């Protein structure tokens, strides 16, 4: 079997994944998995929602319907990936990352998020750290993913550092990280944009719209 339409192949897998996940979460995982989970000493696996009847639908009813249908349609799209008559060159997905890169990224966020939740009672530090690490990895090893990773990272850096650093510094950081994701990087130009934008956002959002942001780092107060 040869994949003739990459776009449909991956889209189908994605839809199946979402659909099956929805059904599994709604109806609950199969009994053997719950038993295995418990025998490993990991506690109780949450066991689905109530299905109810057609007259009195429980919280599981509608999501199960939707999820099942989605998984079914996803399967058809997935199959179409093998039987396309369109020229395969035009059906390349052209994603900037591979499936392995994706797994690494997800694992990084899940792992660090969980670790920081256990250690600091908040996942925030883990999320920030994962974003920064991923940005560095992308910069060093996967230059093609720079637009994706750095644009996402700039938002995360901004969001998680806004409270400790204040609006001005967080905005400047955001602009610099975002600029690194583009084609051309001119330090001088980026610096000017960063300064102008941080002044603008302080004037408009803090003074104009009175959003409750701190302007300077928390240590200054």
Partner 1 sequence: MEILSNLALGFGVALSPFNLLMCLVGVVLGTLIGVLPGVGPVATIAMLLPITFNLNPIGALIMLAGIYYGAQYGGSTTAILVNLPGESSSVVTCLDGYQMARQGRAGPALATAAIASFFAGTISTVVVALFAPPLAEVALKFGPSEYFSLMVLGLVAATVLASGSLIKAISMVLLGLLLGLVGTDVNSGVLRFAFGVSELADGIGFVVVAMGMFGLAEIIVNLEQKEAREVFTSKVGRLMPSKEDFKRMTPAILRGTALGSALGILPGGGALLSSFAAYTVEKKVSRYPAEFGKGAIEGVAGPEAANNAGAQTSFIPLLTLGIPGNAVMALMIGAMMIQGIAPGPQVMTERPQLFWGMIASMWIGNLMLVVLNLPMIGIWIKLLTVPYRILYPTILVFMCIGVFSLSNNPFDVLIMAFFGVLGYICAKLACEPAPMILGFILGPLMEENLRRAMLLSRGDPLVFFQKPISATFLTLSIVLLVVISLPALRSKREEAFAGDEQK
C-beta separation of 167 from 211 below 8 A: no
- Tell me how far, at minimum, the Cβ of 140 lies from partner 1, in Å: 19
Site residues, partner 1 (CB under 8 A)? 7-8, 10-11, 14-15, 18-19, 22, 25-26, 49-50, 53-59, 62-63, 66-67, 69-70, 73-74, 76-77, 80, 93-96, 124, 127, 147-148, 151-152, 154-156, 158-160, 162-163, 171, 174-175, 178-179, 181-184, 189-190, 193-194, 197, 201, 205, 209-213
- Tell me how far, at minimum, the Cβ of 206 lies from partner 1, in Å: 10
Lookup result for tokens 């994962």? 130
For residue 145, give the DSSP letter.
Answer: G
How long, in residues, is the chain? 221
> Is the CB of 88 or the CB of 189 nearer to partner 1?
189
The structure tokens listed for 167 are 């609006």
- Tell me how far, at minimum, the Cβ of 100 lies from partner 1, in Å: 15
Three-class SS of residue 212?
A: coil
Q: In whole angstroms, what is the distance from residue 85 CA to residue 166 CA?
A: 55
Query: Whose CA is closest to 2, among 64, 91, 97?
Result: 91
C-alpha distances in angstroms, 191 versus 169, 183, 187, 216?
Answer: 12, 16, 6, 18
- Tell me how far, at minimum, the Cβ of 30 lies from partner 1, in Å: 18
> Is the CB of 36 or the CB of 189 nearer to partner 1?
189
- Tell me how far, at minimum, the Cβ of 56 lies from partner 1, in Å: 7
């Amino acid at each position: 079997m040869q994949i003739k339409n990459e776009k449909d192949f991956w889209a189908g897998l994605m839809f199946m994944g979402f659909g099956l996940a929805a059904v599994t979460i709604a109806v609950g995982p199969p009994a053997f998995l719950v038993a295995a989970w418990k025998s490993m000493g990991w506690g109780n696996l949450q066991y689905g929602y109530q299905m109810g009847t057609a007259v009195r639908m429980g919280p599981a009813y509608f999501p199960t319907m939707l999820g099942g249908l989605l998984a079914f349609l996803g399967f058809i799209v997935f199959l179409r990936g093998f039987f396309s008559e369109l020229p395969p060159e035009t059906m390349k997905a052209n994603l900037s990352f591979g499936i392995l890169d994706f797994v690494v990224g997800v694992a990084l966020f899940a792992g660090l998020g969980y670790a920081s939740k256990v250690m600091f009672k908040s996942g925030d530090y883990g999320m920030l750290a994962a974003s920064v690490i991923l940005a560095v990895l992308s910069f060093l090893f996967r230059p093609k993913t720079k637009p994706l990773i750095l644009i996402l990272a700039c938002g995360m850096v901004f969001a998680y550092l806004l409270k400790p650093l204040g609006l001005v510094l967080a905005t400047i950081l955001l602009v610099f990280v975002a600029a690194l994701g583009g084609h051309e990087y001119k330090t001088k130009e980026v610096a000017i944009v960063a300064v102008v934008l941080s002044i603008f956002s302080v004037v408009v959002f803090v003074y104009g719209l009175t959003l409750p942001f701190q302007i300077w780092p928390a240590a200054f107060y």
